[in-house]
Amino acid sequence: MTNAVIECILSRSAAKYYDPAVTLSDDQIRELVRIGTTAPTSFHLQNWRFIAVRTREAKARLSPIAWNQPAITDAAVTFIVCGQLVDTSVIPERLAPLVEAGVMPAAMVPEWENPARDLYMAYPQRRRDEAVRTATFGASAMIYAARSLGLGSTPMIGFDAEAVHREFGLAGDEVPVLLLSVGAERPGNWAQKPRRPLTDVLALV
C-alpha cells in the first residue's frame, strides 16, 4: 500500500539540523498555516493561534526560553502553536460562514452549540484537553505539508511555557501547546527511528 501521501508520512523524521541560510517568505509561512487550519477541530471550534517566529530578533527572544534548541536559531521559522481553552459561546460565530456558504442549515447551529456547552463549559480539564488536541492536529497537518514541500520540521516541548506565554503576549485563555520549527534540512539528521511493533500498540477487537 503506497502512494505519494503515504510516502510523505512514512519518510518524515524530526529534524535537528537546519540550513540557516534558507528562509521562507511570509507568503510561504501563511500558506503553511492556512493548510494547518484545514485540520479538523471539535465542533469546528478552530481554537488555535499560530505565532511565526522568523526574524533574528524574535528568534533571540524565543531561544533562551526554549532550551537554546538549535532549531530555533537555524530553522526558517518556529511556530508557537497555541490552543485556546474551549469557549462554546464562539460557536455561532465560527459556524456562520458555513451557514452563509450553504454547507450547514442555520437551524443546526444550536444543535451544535448546546451539546458543546454541556460537554465542555463546566469542565476545565476538558476545555484544556481540547486546546491541546486542536493545536496538535493543526501542527500535524503542517508537519506533513512541510515534508511534502521538501522541508524538515521539529515539534518541540522543550520550552518554558510560562516564559513563552509572557514573552509573546499570549492571552489568558491561550496555551502554548508546542513549538514547531520548519525549514530546509542540512545533512546530518538521523534516519527515521524504528517503531514499536504493531502487536504492542494495536488491539483488533
Q: Which residues bind ligand FMN (CB under 6 A)?
A: 13-14, 16, 69, 154-158, 178, 192-193
Minimum separation from the CB atom of position 39 to ligand FMN (A): 15
Give the shortest CB-196-to-ligand FMN separation in angstroms: 11
CB-nearer residue toward ligand FMN: 116 or 135:
135
- Count CB neighbours of 83 within 10 A: 29
What distances in angstroms separate CA 149 from CA 8, 14, 18, 182, one per listed residue?
Answer: 10, 15, 15, 11
- Alpha-carbon distance of 17 to 184, in angstroms, equals 9
Q: Minimum distance between the CB of residue 96 and ligand FMN, rounded to whole angstroms? A: 33
Nearer to ligand FMN, 72 or 170 (CB): 72
Q: In the bound complex, what is the minimum distance in angstroms from residue 160's beta carbon to ligand FMN? A: 12
43 contacts 131 by C-beta, under 8 angstroms: no
Q: Which is nearer to ligand FMN, 91 or 141 (CB)?
A: 141
Are residues 182 and 76 in contact, defined by beta-carbon separation less than 8 angstroms?
yes
Q: For ligand FMN, which is the closer residue by CB, 41 or 78?
A: 78
